[in-house]
Structure 1
Amino acid sequence: ENRVIFAVGPFQGTGLPGDAKFCISTKSPLTETYANTMAGANWGPTFKRTGYDVLIVEGKADTPVYLWIHDEAAEIREARKFWGMDTYEVVEVLKEDVGERRASVLTIGPAGEKLVAMASVVADSHSFAGRCGVGAVIGAKNLKAVVVHGTKHPPVANPDRFEALRKESRQKTLTLGKGMRDYGTPDIEDYHSRGNIPIKYWAGDSFEEGAKNLGQPVYNEVLQGKAWPCLHCTVGCHRHIKVTEPEKYACEGVGPEYEAVALLGMTNLVSDLKAVAKANEYCNRLGIDVISAGATVGFAIECYERGLITKEDTNGMELRWGDGDLLIELVKQIGLREGFGAFFAEGNLEAARKIGKGTEEIVMQVRGLDFPGHDPRLSWSMAPNYATCTRGACHCKGLPGDVEFGLYTVPELGFPEKTEFFDAQGKTYLAVKCQDFSTLLNSLSLCMFMVNCGMTLTDILNSFNAITGLNWSIEQLIKVGERSFNLQRLINIRDGKGGEYDTLPKRVFEPATSGFRKGKTPPFDALMNEYYELRGWDKRTGIPKKEKLIELGISD
């Protein structure tokens, strides 16, 4: 019954920097409402070149299968011999099975097969559609992978104009993306100094040892990190790493990005970068979200420390902060749905309900989705952003906090420069506009890091118009994001996950006792009142008002 929708937009296959992205949408086993997750590598442009824009999968195969899609042809193929393989090893054997080395492979791992609610989907063993447990939905359909290869060229209405714009965007992002190309995303020193990283499952204020050992430039030196770009990408945020010793941490492939370093390492007070890299590899190979996996380990340790669970529950394991080997073992158990880790297979909120004793109040989540590594106690725009995000606590559905850090601006939407921390003025407007903007980027399937590296909303609009032959304005384009966000909100309401879920965990309102954000918490009620007003939603129920829906063209 639960459909899984794989989709690309107008940019895929055109060579525009950032066009490697694609979207997967369904209903999440973690949040029981709207889910959307994105990945890159080669799959999006390759799928577009098969002649399709959308793939919808529904029902369930009697036995494991995979899909082979090529130049407007689609085959359902037997996959029993591939069931149980991890997301790295299955890529090459599936390419051999279809007889096409240039094929792109999107697959689930053992976690998806075992219906672990935080299961991810992996593109070419390189990029990860991690959030919302979409891999579990695909696994429930007995679908192991979608393999694609195409030779078609997507139509472009004004090819000369687009080619000039493509070259301009390529040069701009190549120049401004050098820092990310050299160091990737795990450059955590500034975040740590401002108190923006989850430490000790959001209960700590500082972890100097972790900040020193887990970030750049140590990262590249210890893990031999090198840029590993997605198709057509000028930035190359992913890292290819290699660890040879100690043997227990040996790994090679895509390395931990910021969210993995933050949630696997800093959250659990693990400062050994090689241990974090090994835990990250298990997440990747087994196919589980690094954010929820790291959060689960932290939540489990806190429950153990408080006496809410005991050694009898953990099968004799002692859960300790700062234990890299424990981190690896728990990640492995969660992904394989084995041992103590199986207790968390339905997600942290469900585990808390089983533990009882008020444990639900500890879980750092919104609508059942674990917090990513960005603190709303520092960036107050993130408070209404997390509370209202349609897929649960999320940094990809609007990252206004990075505007507060000065990492990007969008002058066309009214925020041309960095904003100040701990000043509520304009933070709700920032949250609303960033949500609409990021939802637009999801609809277009364009990587957000292109914006961080210099691509403007005007650049995006010009490329969109050149490809489609339309003559849209900025207002028309951003309206797509607003309309889509409101439609998602209506889905939340339909699923019983509306205004009553626009809340944040109690810990968000516990101020730091030291450091940059000492004594600070967001003025949440005031921010939310302003948010509903700006959105055109009823302040009592959180439901979009009729006149807002009519304005957006979704009155039916």
Structure 2
Amino acid sequence: MIPGGYAGKWLDIDLTNNKIEDITFPYETLEQFFGGRGMATKILWDRVADKWTDMDGLDPENPLIFATGPMTGIYPGARICVSGKSPVSNGVVGSTAATEFAVEIKNTGYDGIIFTGKSPEPVYLLVTDDGPELVDAKHLWGLDGETTLIKLNKEVKETLTKRHPNVGLWKAPGSMYLGPAGENMVRNACVMTKICHAAGYGGYGSVMGSKNIKAVVAKSRNMFPKVDAPEAAKLLWRKAHAELIKVSDFRRWGTGHLGFGAGAGTSSEPVRNWQEEWHNETAIGVNRYMDRFWVKTKWADFNCTTNCMKVSCIKTGPYKGDITDVPDYELQAYCGTNLGIFDPESNVHISTLMDKLGHSGINGPNTLGYAA
């Protein structure tokens, strides 16, 4: 017996020995260590607590964990937790990202994935209703994040169409993947998703790279696991959406709505690697991004009412074609003012570069600030 909201199985993958098996956890464990972060912490404690001090975050024995929770896909946002021993802090970080991968992996019948060891060659994990498989990814290794995602979507849809020709058109799978930063084991590299989303904290992109995992991909035609109290889940869903729809600034302007103007007025942004406390560049707030770059004003994470994402694209000039989300407040700060940059176009360009590299848009530019 398992609690409602759980699929009931995990994938346990030994990359060194090319071994994939299903594992389960007792009801009491799922109840006590609640959600993705709780289960990730439990798994790490059980498997590597006795070697924690001596184990580096990039050692093959460090488990890399992708974990959903019982409310994944029900509560707005559909987030997944990525965890392991952090190569940045040597502690544990439950780094989350909103991604359709969280929904797809759960619908395939798995609550999470545990990777250990190191693959001898680059691979990606593909999980479908046919089961899990490790796929050669040498042709994807070295590609930037955006190109990787485009090629993965095309490749997986073609694979599924060949296997199931009578299903019709397949939509894009859910994917989490690396850019060059993760491949080269830059310690604060991200696990990327949806071109400009990331599990950004903890440096787990470098852990993926150390294991030669280019991506984890899932696609399913199955339903969510059942919950124990469907009426209570519906009530929670309605209340959450009722509150989210009130957040008008986020809906109208996105997560970057504070912008440079607010930073100038409140001293809430880093300026030139924190060397200065104030700036007076008030004329390039979020409305300038809207006027010049926004090509999509309504983009939501799975099952989320807020619709806070706004897609920015540079349409002319040397950075033509660069595309990112907003940028949000933190990337306006770290890819902008912290580097002494107050030009929205350059801010969009650097944010896009971080996305393509699979680098943290906060930690990466914060490091660059030392040279700015």
TM-score bracket, shorter-length normalisation? 0.7 to 0.9
Q: How far has the Cα of 1:249 moved from its partner?
A: 5.1
Q: Does 1:47 align with 2:105?
A: yes
1:207, 1:101 → 2: CA distance? 46
Choose which of 209, 223, 226 in structure 2 pairs with 1:152.
223
2:321, 2:154 → 1: CA distance? 27
Choose which of 347, 351, 360 in structure 2 pairs with 1:276.
347
Q: Specify whether residues 35 and 162 from structure 1 end up closer, same or farther in structure 2 by C-alpha distance, changes over 3 A only.
A: closer
Choose which of 106, 117, 120 in structure 2 pairs with 1:59.
117
Q: Does 1:17 align with 2:58?
A: no
Q: Does 1:133 align with 2:192?
A: no
What is the total number of aligned residue pairs between the two structures?
296
Q: 1:7 maps to which residue?
A: 67
Per-residue deviation, residues 289-317 of structure 1 (Å, max 9, x unmatched): 0111211121123xxxxxxxxxxxxxxxx
Q: 2:14 maps to which residue?
A: none
Write 1 or 2 for the structure with the bigger share of helix: 1
Q: Specify whether residues 72 and 161 from structure 1 end up closer, same or farther in structure 2 by C-alpha distance, changes over 3 A only.
A: farther
Amino acid of the structure 2 residue aligned with 1:12? T
Check whether the contact 1:103–1:147 (CA below 8 A) recurs between aligned residues: yes
Check whether the contact 1:255–1:280 (CA below 8 A) recurs between aligned residues: no
Per-residue deviation, residues 334-384 of structure 1 (Å, max 9, x unmatched): xxxxxxxxxxxxxxxxxxxxxxxxxxxxxxxxxxxxxxxxxxxxxxxxxxx
Q: How far has the Cα of 1:203 moved from its partner?
A: 1.9
Q: 1:251 maps to which residue?
A: 322
Q: Does 1:228 align with 2:299?
A: yes
Q: Specify whether residues 190 and 85 from structure 1 end up closer, same or farther in structure 2 by C-alpha distance, changes over 3 A only.
A: same
2:84, 2:283 → 1: CA distance? 39
Q: Does 1:296 align with 2:352?
A: no
Q: Does 1:98 align with 2:156?
A: yes
What is the aligned-residue identity percentage?
29
Q: 1:451 maps to which residue?
A: none
Check whether the contact 1:103–1:148 (CA below 8 A) recurs between aligned residues: yes
Q: What are the within-5 Å matches in structure 2 for residues 494-505 of structure 1?
A: none
Check whether the contact 2:255–2:326 (CA below 8 A) recurs between aligned residues: no
Q: How far has the Cα of 1:259 moved from its partner?
A: 1.0
Amino acid of the structure 1 residue aligned with 2:341? V
Check whether the contact 1:177–1:234 (CA below 8 A) recurs between aligned residues: no
Q: 2:264 maps to which residue?
A: 192
Q: How far has the Cα of 1:235 moved from its partner?
A: 1.0
Q: 1:37 maps to which residue?
A: 95
**Root-mean-square deviation (CA), in Å?**
1.8
Per-residue deviation, residues 466-520 of structure 1 (Å, max 9, x unmatched): xxxxxxxxxxxxxxxxxxxxxxxxxxxxxxxxxxxxxxxxxxxxxxxxxxxxxxx
TM-score by structure 1 length?
Answer: 0.51
Q: 1:88 maps to which residue?
A: 146
1:164, 1:32 → 2: CA distance? 40
Q: How far has the Cα of 1:39 moved from its partner?
A: 0.8
Larger Rg belongs to:
1
Check whether the contact 1:43–1:124 (CA below 8 A) recurs between aligned residues: no
What runs of 5+ residues in structure 2 fail to find an aligned partner?
1-60, 158-169
Check whether the contact 1:198–1:263 (CA below 8 A) recurs between aligned residues: yes
Q: How far has the Cα of 1:178 moved from its partner?
A: 2.4
What runs of 5+ residues in structure 1 fail to find an aligned partner?
302-556
Q: How far has the Cα of 1:212 moved from its partner?
A: 2.8
1:94, 1:46 → 2: CA distance? 15
Check whether the contact 1:115–1:136 (CA below 8 A) recurs between aligned residues: yes
Q: How far has the Cα of 1:184 moved from its partner?
A: 1.1
TM-score by structure 2 length?
Answer: 0.75
Q: What are the within-5 Å matches in structure 2 for residues 64-463 of structure 1?
A: 64-71=122-129, 73-99=131-157, 100-150=170-220, 151-174=222-245, 176-186=246-256, 187-188=258-259, 189-209=261-281, 211-213=282-284, 215-224=285-294, 226-248=297-319, 250-301=321-372
Check whether the contact 1:207–1:269 (CA below 8 A) recurs between aligned residues: no
SS in 2 for 1:85: coil
Check whether the contact 2:324–2:348 (CA below 8 A) recurs between aligned residues: no
Q: How far has the Cα of 1:254 moved from its partner?
A: 2.7
Q: How far has the Cα of 1:72 moved from its partner?
A: 7.4
Amino acid of the structure 2 residue aligned with 1:108? L
SS in 2 for 1:38: strand
Check whether the contact 1:5–1:25 (CA below 8 A) recurs between aligned residues: yes
SS in 1 for 2:335: helix
Amino acid of the structure 2 residue aligned with 1:17? P
Q: Specify whether residues 64 and 270 from structure 1 end up closer, same or farther in structure 2 by C-alpha distance, changes over 3 A only.
A: same
Q: 2:166 maps to which residue?
A: none
